[in-house]
Amino acid sequence: MCLAVPGRVTAIFGEDPLIKTGRVDFGGIVREVNLCYVPEVQLGDYVVVHVGFALSIVDELEAQKIFEYLRQIGEMNLFDEQQS
Amino acid sequence: MKYIDEYRDNRAAVKLLAEIRRATTHEWTIMEICGGQTHSIVKYGIDQLLPPEISLVHGPGCPVCVTPIETIDAACYLAALPNVILCSYGDMLRVPGSRTDLLHLKASGSDIRIVYSPLDAVTVASKNPAKQVVFLAVGFETTAPANAMAVFNAAQRKLPNYSQLVSQVTVPAAITAILGASENRVQGFLAAGHVCAVTGYREYEPLAARFRVPIVVTGFEPIDLLHGILMCVRQLEVGSCLVENQYSRTVSRSGNSSAQDIMQRVYETCDRNWRGIGIIPNSGLRLREEFSGYDAESKFAITIEPGNDSAECIAGKILRGIMKPIDCPAFATRCNPESPLGATMVSSEGACAAYYRYRGQSQPTAK
């Protein structure tokens, strides 16, 4: 039940937030998704979808943070190796 | 696939495992709440890659697993009625009831339909005005907004033939029950990422403070889980008990307010019986009085009495993190996905199903 998948919004229909729907592309598979819970969604955003409803818009900047952290660790480890 | 592949990167995993190894100086027991996280851990072998000092125990975050046997029996009763179409998420069909299950009933001719979205059941109701459509509304807070919108939608359309058999559960009360139990060994939690995408994590802060456990909101891919475990271990090593957010690309502290609005308009908190665990106060959701016309229990005047589970099934102990599937004498012998003794062997988020699928049916070996 917790399983939700990220996909890219390729179309948005409907002005009224409660009946807003759209098309979301999950790596090639396109499904119709209810967008009522992400009223600020824009075309091209990635959303996390569960049982046909988008629950959250993926934050690109936050998504990068772990990889930035791992890059820094990698550089620090290289520095330590060079020192010893 | 973007936002999936990079969170399965092997090099990132190796780095995180090295950091976890560096950080760990004591033995720690950490519970992941969600069945989806359990599956990922078992599938990617994360529990076997961690330093031996870290024990991962599996939590009760599988709504299919914790749906009480009597609710399955009620669903079976309704599905067998001649003018009823029962709609359900696919996983529920093979969950054993006291005498039968929905899949067997479907095979013998009952009109039982699998739906992907709860709105599909509303569509079935509008297309079949002569039939009563009952939707088996199971789920944690991740699913509650969708289940709520279905009722809201049916009410707006004034559909007289749509109702829900509600078995919604909520996470914070379960954490309280686990930590309050005398045999509890859990020292830190990985909270369910998608539940928190809906609810936020404000309500976990008093729990972390009261029970003095770190709680890390964690995603589902292997990099998310390793990162969440690293954050949890770092807190444990210094005696910290804060709520942290590993899954920040999807979760915010206040969560999704429009989803929470509809949930609170349609549902209210109630006590719930968790299969294998018992009644946990304030751990569930039921339809509010205003929407009682959409409650299948009152519409069909059914009283749900506590049922009896298989005596052999130890799912309750597994869901509380006291035992693992491989500790069960019936695992992979008398109990398997084709003939399950309990719900944890059935659900795509069940711990027993995860071990069966990814660890095979061989005898367990010591770590």
Length of chain A: 84
Mean pLDDT (10-residue bins), chain B, 367 residues: 90 95 97 94 95 94 92 96 96 91 96 96 98 97 97 96 97 93 92 97 97 97 97 98 97 97 97 91 97 96 82 88 90 90 86 90 49
- What contacts B53, CB < 8 A, 6 or more positions away? B24, B25, B26, B27, B28
Nearest-CA distance B38 → chain A (Å): 11
B117 with A8: Cβ contact below 8 A: no
d(CA B288, CA B303): 18
Q: Do B34 and B59 meet the contact criterion of CB atoms below 8 Å apart?
A: yes
User: What phi, psi does B352 have (nearest 5°)?
Assistant: -65, -40
The chain B residue lying nearest A1, using CA atoms, is: B139
3-state secondary structure of B269: strand
Closest CA to A20 of A9, A36, A8, A44: A36
The maximal CA–CA distance of chain A, rounded, in angstroms, is 64
B117 with A66: Cβ contact below 8 A: no
d(CA B361, CA B330): 11
d(CA B19, CA B12): 11
At B349, list the tokens.
Answer: 């988020």
pLDDT digits (tens, 9 = 90+) for A3-16: 888 999 999 998 77
For A49, A70, B350, the CA distances from B223, given in Å and listed in that order, are 20, 11, 21
A29 touches chain B (CB under 8 A): no
3-state secondary structure of B286: strand
The chain B residue lying nearest A53, using CA atoms, is: B146
Angle CA(B131)–CA(B136)–CA(B141) in degrees, nearest 5? 140
- What contacts B363, CB < 8 A, 6 or more positions away? none
User: What phi, psi does A32 have (nearest 5°)?
Assistant: -80, 135
B129 touches chain A (CB under 8 A): no
Nearest-CA distance A33 → chain B (Å): 9
Q: Please give the pLDDT value at position A84.
A: 61
Burial of B78 (0-12, 13-18, 19+ CB in 10 A): buried
Identify which of B15, B62, B195 has the shortest CB distance to residue A74: B15
Segment holding A13, helix H or strand E:
strand A5-13
d(CA A8, CA A57): 10
Angle CA(A75)–CA(A80)–CA(A82) in degrees, nearest 5? 95
Closest CA to B54 of B213, B230, B173, B273: B230
Quote the pTM value. 0.93
d(CA A68, CA A47): 22
Q: Cα B121 vs. chain centroid, distance in angstroms?
A: 21
Tokens 């760990």, residue located: B24
d(CA B118, CA B233): 39
Segment holding B36, helix H or strand E:
helix B35-44
Q: Please give the pLDDT value at position A16.
A: 75
At B132, list the tokens.
Answer: 């009563």
Q: Do B146 and A50 meet the contact criterion of CB atoms below 8 Å apart?
A: yes
A34 with B119: Cβ contact below 8 A: yes
d(CA B128, CA B65): 31
Q: In terms of DSSP bridges, do strands B28-34 and B188-192 run parallel, antiparallel, or are they unpaired?
A: parallel
Backbone conformation region of residue B158, classed left if phi is above 0, alpha if psi is from -120 to 50, else beta: left
Q: In chain A, what residues touch B227 (CB-CB under 8 Å)?
A: 66
Nearest-CA distance B64 → chain A (Å): 8
The chain B residue lying nearest A29, using CA atoms, is: B1
Q: Please give the pLDDT value at position A1.
A: 47
The ipTM value here is 0.92
Q: Please give the pLDDT value at position B214.
A: 98
At A53, list the tokens.
Answer: 């409803």
A27 touches chain B (CB under 8 A): yes
Q: Do B145 and A37 meet the contact criterion of CB atoms below 8 Å apart?
A: yes
Mean pLDDT of A60-83: 82
Closest CA to B190 of A2, A60, A72: A2
Identify which of A51, A53, A73 has the shortest CB distance to residue B19: A73
At A69, list the tokens.
Answer: 């952290």
Mean pLDDT of A33-41: 96
